Structures are given as C-alpha cells and as structure tokens.
Structure 1
Amino acid sequence: MFIKALVLLCGVSLTQACSISSINFIWNLLMNLPTTPPPPTTTTTTKPSSPPCKCGIPNKTSRIVNGTVTEAHEYPWMVGLTRNYTGYPFCGGSIISDRLILTSARCVSAYQYQPSDIKVLVGGWDASNSTNTMWSSVCKVTIHPDYYIASSSQHFDVAVLTVCGPMPTYLERVGPVCLPQQGVGTQYEGQYHTVTGWGLTSAGGVGSGYLMKADVKTMPNSMCCNQDYNYGYGWNCNQITDDVMCAISVPAGAGVCGGDQGGPLVYNQVGNYVQTGIVSWAAPCGNSDPDTYARVSKVVDWIKSVDQASGNKTVCSI
C-alpha cells in the first residue's frame, strides 16, 4: 500500500522525476501521519459503604467490673432504666430510634413493672448528677414472644420500650445505635466488642455513678463450654442456644455485673457502632467465665416489626 501511494504521489508532478530524495521525503510523511489518540481511560473507585441512615456515631475526644469510665456522652445511645426520676439505673438499654429503646426482657417483664413505672435516663453519663439530665416516660413495653426462662438462663431475652414522646436524637449526646442485619451473626464472633453500664463495680458492691465500659471478645457458642472456658462449670451448657452469644472479658476480671442487664454490646464496624448483643445473664461478677448476651441479629426482623407497628419505620440496620 505504501509503494502504491509513492507511485501516485510521484505521478502528480509532471515536470520533476521521482528522485530518491523525493521518495524519502514522501516516505517520512507517510510514516509520521497524525494518529487519533486513544480514548482516556477512566478508573472507577468504590467508596466505602455507609449506613443508609445516621446511627452508631460515638462522641470521642481521645482515646462493669474493673472497667474504665467512659468519656462524657461517648456512647450517645446508652440509656438507664430507673423506677423514678432520681434513682440509679436498675438496668441499661439502648436508643434504636427517637421513640424506641432496646433492652432485656427480664428487666421489664410484666410481673415486675408496668410501663408507667419505668423512667428512662436519656443522654446521661453521671447518674449521680441530675444537672442537664433528660428523662423519658415509657408508654408501651413489647417483650419478644419467644422469651422464656430456663434454669438460670434467659432465652430471647429482648424487649422494646416505646417512649411517650420523641427523644432529642438531634443532640450530640443523644443518638441511636445501628442494628445488624437479620441472620445468624457469626461474623461478629471472635471480635472485640465494648459493653457499657452503670452496674455494680464488684460482686456485692455498689453501682457506678459514671457510665463504665469494658472490652470483651465474643466467641462461637461451641467455645463457651470447651475446656478453656467451661461456661457454668459445664452443668448448663445446653442453655447456650443460637439466640445467645458468649463473650469473655479482656483482660479477665472486667465484665458485666448486677445492674448492667439490658445494656448494649457493641462492635465498631468501620466507625459506626453496631449492637450485636444485649446483656442477659452473667457468670459471677468479674471472674474468667464467659458472660452471655441476647443475640440481636436473630431478632432484627421482630424489632423492625415493632418499629413498623408504632408507625415510625426509623430503625437503622447496616
């Protein structure tokens, strides 16, 4: 094709022969024709997924038995359940929407309390100081339909409290925790978590004025009763069912105690805290045995049905 082009171009001039220099000139022209540049390549970057709604955002400015005091309002979803507007919390709970609180069924079962008997400490940190303390009243208690007590254990130990008016979740010190997706929740086993509460600081001791936290590590249920952990000294291992999750304190000696029931067990999932458990029944305070939690992932669909029945539909799962 190039030779044909040379002949044609040389033939255009009738007065000048096609010399070697002319052929070289034309050849260079042909070999350096402008080409169309290839289209620019584009790279698509995938942004980290974020929750579809705002939840699980802590308030940290720096970085429970033998636990440590939390920073003021570090966990804005944490609430305390009291019998009046001045007492120390007898149980914990967590905000999951501006009208709903997640807690333990044993804390609010009908034979103990009526809804009007329960007052909720919202946005609190120092339970002994009523300054800037907010309170909510409970209008409805919904206990999981499969809740039951067997021996020393609780199963489906979950309840949702509906408060009589919206909580101020727009404030920095008040906000909902994220819920996991419905499922078995094995992805949260073998992970470090945080548990919070105003419970006793030692067996037979007194409650903490300040909200306390402890680091724990979850485990598969099969590990709860192996030779390393031997939950309940092996006599009630059949109580470790799939609606329960076990966790061991890290280091040993820190963990939950009386008054911490109903409080949240949370996992830091790329900056957003997800509630994977509810403090249910515990080994003797501060020993090296695992504590047990109601497994939230098993009841998310039920929680959402309560939310929808209330007309809110604002619970956030990630």
Structure 2
Amino acid sequence: MYRVQTFWFLLVWLGLVIARRLNDVSEGDKCKLANGTGDGICTDARDCPYLRTVPQTDWITCGFNKSEPIVCCGPGDVTIKSTKTKSRVSLISERMCESFSMSGLSHHVFGGSIAAVNEFPHVAALGYLEDGTIKFRCGSSLISERYLLTAAHCVKEQKPQLARFGVVHLFEVNPQEPPVDIGFKNSIIHPNYTSRPLRNDIALLELDRSITEPFIHPACLYTNLTDPEPHVILSIEGWGSTDPNDFDSSPILLKANVTTLDREGCNSTLVQDKSRRSLGPLQNEQLCALGRNLRNETVGDTCVGDSGGPLELILGHRRYLVGVTSSGRLCGSTWPGVYTRISRYIDWVESIVWKS
C-alpha cells in the first residue's frame, strides 16, 4: 500500500511540474496582449514603450525578475533605456537608475488621497526660515545620494533652509520615527530661467551630506523625449494647499493621478489667460497634465505649495520623474497644470550631479 501511494504521489507531482513548465513564460517568450488585441513579447517593464500607450488595466504580467515585473509588451518605437540626448552608449542618469534601490508657490495636490508611509521615498518638503520658524512652501525629488530636483522659482527669491524626508505627516513628529532634516550646501538655478514669462523653471539643490538612510531612495529621470501618452496614468504628490481659497500647506502628503494633455489642446486653454502672468503658449520645455474622471470632472491637480514636486511615471518598482511642478492658474479647475519637462534638461542635470 505504501508503494502504491508513493507511486501515485510521484505521478501527481510530475504532472504538476510538467503543467507548470508548460504554463511558464519568461522574458523573451511570446504572449497574448489584453482583450485579444494581438501578440506581444514578455519584456522587462522598464524597457517596454507599449506601457505608455495603453491603460494600466490592460497590462498583462508574464512574471517577475527579482522584484521587477515582466510584462506582455506590444510593438513600440523607443524604450526608456535607449532614448539618448547624446551619442553615447547610455546616459549617466540611466546607468545610475539601474543602481537605485526602490520600494514600492504655484501649486498643490487638489482632490488627492493620503500617501502611505514610505510610498514616495524620494519626495522631500522644502522648509524656509520665516520669523524664526520653518515654513514649508515647495516640494522636491531626490535624484542621487546628494542632489534634489525642484523648480527654480522655489529657490530664486529665497533659499530653503532644509529638506524634510521620510514623513507623511509634515508637522506631527513621531519621536520613534523622527523626520530626516538635511540642510543645503549649494543651489543651482538653470542659467536660462526667467520668471516672466516662466521659462526653464528647474533647479538643483545640493545637500550638505549624502543620504545614508535605508528608507530614502532616489527616483530615476525620464529621458524619453516623447511624453507619456494622454491615457497613461501619472502621479503627483505634495504637501500644498487642499483648498483653492486657503494657501496653507496640507499637514499630510497627498497624491493624485493625472494624465498629460496634448500640446495643441493645452495651448488652446493657456492662450485664453489674459492676465499679466500669462503662461501661454506652451514652450518646448514644458508639458501639461490634469486629473480627470469619466465625467470629465477634475479629480487631481497641483496647487499652492506643490511647486517643485514630482510628476512621475511608475514602472514596476521604479519611479521616473517626467516633470517638475511649475505653474498653473486655478487649483482643481479645468485649467491644466504646467510642468517642466525633465527630458529636456538631462545634459544639464548630468553635468552637475554626475560630473566626472
């Protein structure tokens, strides 16, 4: 009896192994795209331009390579890795991105939801000394162990005193998990920055020490010169105002989903602004984004206090900074938010952050 049971157990086990092998797909294998739209190839999510042309609900996962998802990738023209602004094997920022660990005055996240602890380990609030106290008025993103990326207008008129990392609640300090406050050694505003009209609104802040905390990680730079498609979901985060009539900072880090707007549609809106701080027409180094639901109602926007914060694309466990929150007009309205296109400044960023 024991031998019979053992024999049948081995047959069942062998059948399961064979079935698993038959169903296994890995990188390079053929796969079926969602909704019967055709065939694809199982590809590392970071290398699949197809993900920028379809809604996230239509992504098909083949498996995982360590913590990075392998997805069923349809036809595409370029990849994040292979897009160059220089004729060389790869960009420094792209090579550095591969080494990053990942964990899961213009503006704010209007209509956003509360971020989870450590959900955005690259985001830092910028604190300014006013009347003997620290006021937080802008956001920023860590892009290396020593540098933050932010908006130039967050640095031009008044230099921030510190960057606050590692918190969702900005003011309620937990003694067991205190915020990480780091000062600055230097600030570098883009040499062609102008406030009127608002152009080249991007700056770098050098921390006065390197990041050593294991829960703080840099984000990657989006180097593709083509913006994510209008139906690809992007994320914005910040501690800015949650009320268009109240400019006080939100005490809690908020997040919201947005999508890009096509340049023609964005320009048709921007040129209607007849105020003295007109933003239009959209420049090559700028892009538009706004949150929407199926009824075309605003569901997420930036507002006062979010400037300098990220507009990002999430692929697997990596976050790619597509834009820097720059400007807008009305919080949570049909007016689009304007962001500085990071892909247009890769050479400038690299020449400072990873100078040889």
- From the superposition, tell whether residues 306 and 257 of structure 1 become closer, same or farther in structure 2 (CA, over 3 Å): same
Question: TM-score of the superposition, structure 1-length normalised?
Answer: 0.73
State the SS of the aligned residue for 1:184.
coil
| Partner AA of 2:192 in structure 1 | D
Cα separation, 2, equivalents of 1:232 and 1:76: 37
Cα separation, 2, equivalents of 1:158 and 1:58: 26
- Within the candidate set 165, 189, 195, 2:209 is matched to 165
Q: Could you tell me which residue of structure 2 aligns to residue 197 of structure 1? A: 238
The answer to whether the 8 A contact 1:191-1:219 is kept is no
- Within the candidate set 178, 184, 188, 2:225 is matched to 184
Gaps of 5+ in 2: 1-24, 29-42, 48-67, 69-93
Q: Does 1:260 align with 2:306?
A: yes
CA deviations on 1:108-167 (whole Å, 9 max, x unpaired) are 01x423xxx52110112110122311111101001111211224xx21110000011011
Q: Could you tell me which residue of structure 2 aligns to residue 269 of structure 1? A: 315
- From the superposition, tell whether residues 45 and 246 of structure 1 become closer, same or farther in structure 2 (CA, over 3 Å): closer
Cα separation, 1, equivalents of 2:167 and 2:235: 18
- From the superposition, tell whether residues 239 and 210 of structure 1 become closer, same or farther in structure 2 (CA, over 3 Å): same
| Partner AA of 2:353 in structure 1 | D
Q: Could you tell me which residue of structure 2 aligns to residue 65 of structure 1? A: 110
Q: Could you tell me which residue of structure 1 aligns to residue 172 of structure 2? A: 129
Q: Could you tell me which residue of structure 2 aligns to residue 83 of structure 1? A: 128
Cα separation, 1, equivalents of 2:226 and 2:194: 21
The answer to whether the 8 A contact 2:114-2:254 is kept is yes
- From the superposition, tell whether residues 150 and 239 of structure 1 become closer, same or farther in structure 2 (CA, over 3 Å): farther
Q: Could you tell me which residue of structure 2 aligns to residue 32 of structure 1? A: none
State the SS of the aligned residue for 1:108.
helix
Q: Could you tell me which residue of structure 2 aligns to residue 211 of structure 1? A: 253
State the SS of the aligned residue for 2:188.
strand
Cα separation, 1, equivalents of 2:233 and 2:101: 16
Instruction: Give me the identity figure in percent.
Output: 23
Cα separation, 1, equivalents of 2:354 and 2:288: 30
Instruction: Summarize the alignment of residues 230-245 of structure 1 with structure 2, pairs less than 5 Å apart.
Output: 230-231=269-270, 233=272, 235=274, 236=278, 238-245=280-287
Q: Does 1:155 align with 2:191?
A: no
Gaps of 5+ in 1: 1-42, 312-318
| Partner AA of 1:123 in structure 2 | G
The answer to whether the 8 A contact 1:186-1:220 is kept is no
Cα separation, 2, equivalents of 1:176 and 1:188: 24
- Within the candidate set 134, 145, 154, 1:107 is matched to 154
Give 1:92 deviation, angstroms: 0.1
Q: Could you tell me which residue of structure 2 aligns to residue 20 of structure 1? A: none
Q: Could you tell me which residue of structure 1 aligns to residue 326 of structure 2? A: 280
Give 1:86 deviation, angstroms: 6.4
- Within the candidate set 292, 315, 321, 1:250 is matched to 292
Larger gyration radius, structure 1 or structure 2? 1
Q: Could you tell me which residue of structure 2 aligns to residue 96 of structure 1? A: 143
Cα-Cα RMSD: 2.4
Q: Could you tell me which residue of structure 2 aligns to residue 146 of structure 1? A: 192
| Partner AA of 2:311 in structure 1 | L
- From the superposition, tell whether residues 262 and 180 of structure 1 become closer, same or farther in structure 2 (CA, over 3 Å): same
**Matched residue pairs, number?**
252
Cα separation, 1, equivalents of 2:310 and 2:149: 8
Question: TM-score of the superposition, structure 2-length normalised?
Answer: 0.65
Give 1:44 deviation, angstroms: 9.4
- From the superposition, tell whether residues 175 and 283 of structure 1 become closer, same or farther in structure 2 (CA, over 3 Å): same
